[in-house]
Structure 1
C-alpha cells in the first residue's frame, strides 16, 4: 500500500470513528438522559412500543426487570381500581372530584416517589402496616396501593427502569414477594372493631366466590419470584461464562 493510500485509509477510519462517537452521544442524550427519572404511566403500558434508544444499554436481565416492574405497577393500578369500585367511600374521603382523578393522584405519587399527606411521611412497609390499622382514618385504598408501590420501587433500588450500571439485590426482590403475600392476607383478614373488613375484596359466600383480588396479588408474587431466579442465574452464569472462556479459548486469526 502506498503512502497516499495509507493516509486515505487513516482519514476514512478517523471519519468513521467520529461518526460512531457522534451516534453514541446522541443515544446517550436520548436514552440515558432520563435514566435518573421515573417513567410515566403512559410509558409502561404496552409491549408493542418501538424499541427505545436506551435499550442498547440494557442486558437481558435489565429488560426483564423493567418489564416486570411495569407489569407489577399496572397490576397494582388494576387492584386500586377494583378496590375503589367496591369501596367508593374511600376515594370520597379525598379532595378528588371523582374516582379516576383519585387513581391518577396515587399513580403519580408512586411513580414520582412522593408521599401522601395522610400517611405522615410514612412509606414502604411502615406505611403498609399503618393503612390497615384502627389509627388510620384516611383513604385506605389509595394509601394501601401507594404503600405497596413504594415498597416495590424501594426493593428495586428506587428505580423503575434498569440498565447495565444498575445492581439489583435478589434478596430484596424476594422479600418484596413475601411482603406482597402478607399484604394479600392483610387485605382479606384485617377487620374493624365490629368485625367488618377494612376493605371489601375477596369473597366466598353462599351467593358466590370472588377471588380476583388474590389472583392479581398472585401475579405480582409470581413475577417477583421469577425475577429473583433470573437475577440469581445471571450472577451464576457470569462465573460459568468466564470458566467457559478459559476452557474453550479460541485464538483469533491474524491473516
Structure 2
C-alpha cells in the first residue's frame, strides 16, 4: 500500500461540488499535437490532470481549513485560490516563500515552525516540484526529454508529503491541515483519492518513459527479423 493510502485525519468534505474529468472527445485536436509523440501527449495530459488535482485539493483544503487562507491576507476564499493558481500558472513564487524552489518549499511548508498559509505553501510547493521534475515544462514535444528517475522521485515526494500531513500535529494535538474523515459521523477519503490519482499518473508515465527506449529497439529488431509489410487496410 502506498503512503498516500494512509492519509487520514479528522473532519469532513460534504457539500463540495463534483469535478468532471474530460473525455477524449472533450479535447479538441490542436495543431501542436502533430509535434508530440504518444509519450509527449501522455506526459502533457498527465501534467494538466495533476495540476487540476492540485487546484481541487487547494479548494478542499481551504474549505476545511479557512484559518489558512486568512493568513495570506486574501479577502475571500476565492481570492486566496486565485492567488495560488496565478502564482503556479505564471511561475511567480509566492512572496512569503522567498527564493525557495520545489522540495525546499515543501520542507518549509511541512516544518513545524511555519506560521504562514500552509495550504498555499504545500500546494504551490507540490506544483513547483512536479514542474521541476518534468524539466521545468508543462507541455512536451518531440525534442523534449524527461528523466524517469526525477518523475518517480516526484511521485514519492507526494507520498512523503501526504504522510507528513497525516501524522504531524500541533502542540494541541490537532492536525496541521484537516482533510479526510473516517469517523462515526461519516467516511470521506476524497483527499486520499486525489493524491492517489496524482501518484498513479506519475508512476504510469515513469513506466512509459522506461519502456519507450526498450520498445524502440525491439520494434526495429522485429522489422529486420521478419521483413514484413505492414497492413494498410
CA distance in 1, matches of 2:143, 2:166: 40
Q: CA deviation at 1:171?
A: 1.0
> Alignment partner for residue 171 of structure 1, among 149, 154, 157?
149
2:154 counterpart SS class: helix
Higher relative CO (Cα under 8 Å, sequence separation at least 6) belongs to: 2
Alignment RMSD (CA, Å)? 1.6
User: How far does residue 245 in structure 1 lie from its aligned partner after superposition?
Assistant: 2.6
CA–CA distance in structure 2, aligned partners of residues 190 and 132 of structure 1: 9
- Give the gaps of 5 or more residues in structure 2: 1-20
Structure 1 residue ranges (4+ consecutive) displaced by more than 6 angstroms after TM superposition: none
- Cα shift at 1:70: 0.6
Cα distance in structure 2, aligned partners of 1:49 and 1:238:
28
List runs of 5+ in structure 1 lacking aligned partners. 1-44
TM-score between both structures, scaled by the size of structure 1: 0.77
- State how far apart, in whole Å, the 2-side matches of 1:240 and 1:98 are: 56
Greater Cα shift, 241-250 or 50-59: 241-250
Match of 1:156 in 2: 134
In the alignment, is residue 131 of structure 1 matched against residue 109 of structure 2? yes
Q: What is the DSSP-based 3-state SS (H/G/I as helix, E as strand, rest coil) of the residue aligned with 1:157?
A: coil
Aligned length: 207
Q: In the TM superposition, what whole-angstrom CA distance separates every residue of 1:59-102 from its partner, at most 9, and x where no partner exists?
A: 01100110000111101110110000010111111232211121
TM-score scaled by structure 2?
0.84
| Correspondence for 1:64 | 42
Q: Distance between the aligned counterparts of 2:228 and 2:122, measured in 1?
A: 56
For the pair shown, the structure with the greater C-alpha radius of gyration is 1
